[in-house]
Structure 1
């Protein structure tokens, strides 16, 4: 029908070009539609204006690679529909394949940015520092760019062996020169990937204890309770034992009290039963036996009385709230001890004295000791020789 409408000569000469142009125009329209769909998928209702700006920039960068795909398709269609010499077909297919490779690697290069890495780490429940995030993004981009160049050169049958050898030597030299930085980077990645801690956590490593302020490429800074700032190399966290107090589910309360030695068995049993019941009914105390235990027992007999062991877990992971619960429980225990008619023990020291000697005998012994004591000898006076007077 088109052949009759346009004429046989015009149809045979220009039809494949018209189809190619139509495919190119259609490709531009489809590329714009894909860009809009990607922008809507990457943004959500709660996205901040900054995130939306990043998405718009990202989508605008991949607009050109998507257009390249449709340009390659239009060239391929023109080649198939047109009457081109067979000797040009390998070169044309090579150009189409190269265009598709460039489009693919450019799209991946722009997608592997800070935004995609952030979403990837959030999917695994990890948070990374902005500096480390940018460093990882740049490292991945370099790898993608190198792979893209190698692939494109391979399409033109260029020997890439010497190029890869040179890149290997360059990478080795850089690695040796930046050995400490690479170790620090590995340490920071270990901290992030293993989830030992994140910024804002309360941690303890050896004698160092405080809040993590920043996780950098080479070092991590920790703010101590005395407000001092300590810088720790990241490779120190690889094999070190780190206690993260921010991950505590319930704070433990464990105390020992000494009840007076005059306490009776009935009083001790009443104290144990009353305080155990009060803890079990306290909404601030974890009473689920699968998560924690409540222990109130007279553990042993000590020097000043009966040792009372108290152990339970506060239903909070916040330190100030845990201290409040501890205080509340201690006040209640003192009240229960007082209601039971006993008290806490006081440290006592008993001194046993033997039969005292009569006073006159003590005086007699003291006088005899004084009489037997030799008197102190008076120091002898040394006479100085007389100095002869000079005769006038």
Structure 2
């Protein structure tokens, strides 16, 4: 008991202790004890009411929010108990000011603790990004948001508490600014990749599953993270490229094509007549205009373009509705078979590189003259 009284003298001062009566102390301790006992009961009653309300909703976000505020709510009732207990103690003005500041600090801590606990439940929006950009970017963005927001909340809470106690925070913030500049300089590449990932996300340059082509590689996007993007190359290997490089180079997104181009040349033999050429060109145009998987809204071209070394060339230029690579290849495959059937229907053959040699027949007189000269 003597040690307890000695501690009270140190905390609240000698003169304040002399004015305290046993009754005041008893009331204060009793009030504090009651709040310690019933704080769990009070908070549980409020939490149970909130849980009944949230159970009626379809989302789980409100359930997580209620779960997050449970501990700060209990601490809030403890603060109320401390405040109520102090009011029954006749203390000096300086001691009262000190305890008031302590109560304000506890309230500030509780408010920022509550905000700190609510950050993770309120980050549910990043889950929706996993379908578009893959779980990697969504998880990275969520972790980045949660960690950075928690750091900001902790920093703001610390600054608020220091200001409540009359501590000059300007010099403190200035020192943090110098330290932050040094860290930012050392982590320049990391920051560049971070902003590169945010740029890809904001501009919707590509998403998970897209086939892209860059100066570095070509393949399908496996995942988009805050630091780097993983691409499955056409040889099925994983290539990891820092986001800063992807934002500084041209990126071709083949998956965002509205239609896919086909360009080929049909080389026909020189023995093909002009009438046959007209019929073949007409049949090819009719075929393309009536094909269900050919995009007729785009410009099409079937024209004679060149008299080559070994063939008369017909240029074919059109667009398919399917943009998926394998489906596009299947359409082109069937088109080529049909093109060959059209050419063969006119009894025309495809040309191939060849060299024709013409040997002049010499008569007997030319042969005799040649012998006499020799």
Q: Distance in 2 between matches of 1:68 and 1:39?
A: 25
Alpha-carbon distance change, 229 to 27 in structure 1, aligned in 2, over 3 angstroms: closer
Q: Distance in 1 between matches of 2:50 and 2:80?
A: 17
Q: Distance in 1 between matches of 2:342 and 2:348?
A: 9
Alpha-carbon distance change, 341 to 66 in structure 1, aligned in 2, over 3 angstroms: farther
Out of 316, 319, 323, the residue aligned to residue 310 of structure 1 is 316
Q: Distance in 2 between matches of 1:37 and 1:362?
A: 118
More relative contact order, 1 or 2 (CA 8 Å, 6+ apart): 2
Q: Within 5 A, what are the aligned runs for 1:1-392?
A: 29-35=45-51, 37=53, 43=59, 59-67=66-74, 101-113=108-120, 116-117=122-123, 119-120=125-126, 122=128, 127=134, 128-287=137-296, 289=297, 292-293=298-299, 295-303=300-308, 304-351=310-357, 358-359=366-367
Q: How many equivalent residue pairs?
A: 333
1:325 CA drift (Å) = 0.8
Q: Distance in 2 between matches of 1:40 and 1:243?
A: 47
1:257 CA drift (Å) = 1.4
Tell me the SS of whatever aligns to 1:157. Answer: coil
Contact 1:252-1:314 at 8 Å conserved across structures: yes
Q: Distance in 1 between matches of 2:270 and 2:286?
A: 24
> So what's the TM-score if we normalise by structure 1?
0.67
Q: Distance in 2 between matches of 1:327 and 1:36?
A: 62
For residues 290-323 of structure 1, give each alpha carbon's deviation from its aligned partner in whole angstroms, at most 9, with x where no partner exists. xx34x24214232244432223322223211111
1:63 CA drift (Å) = 2.0
Tell me the SS of whatever aligns to 2:205. Answer: coil
Alpha-carbon distance change, 163 to 36 in structure 1, aligned in 2, over 3 angstroms: farther
Alpha-carbon distance change, 359 to 112 in structure 1, aligned in 2, over 3 angstroms: farther
Tell me the SS of whatever aligns to 1:327. Answer: helix
Tell me the SS of whatever aligns to 1:148. Answer: helix
Superposed CA RMSD in Å reads: 4.2
* Structure 1 stretches lacking a partner, 5+ long: 1-12, 45-51, 369-392
Q: Which range moves more in the overlay, 162-171 or 214-223?
A: 214-223
Alpha-carbon distance change, 301 to 180 in structure 1, aligned in 2, over 3 angstroms: closer
- The structure number with the bigger radius of gyration is 1
Higher normalized helix content (fraction of residues):
2
Alpha-carbon distance change, 147 to 364 in structure 1, aligned in 2, over 3 angstroms: farther
* Structure 2 stretches lacking a partner, 5+ long: 1-26
Give the match for residue 10 of structure 2: none
Alpha-carbon distance change, 165 to 278 in structure 1, aligned in 2, over 3 angstroms: same
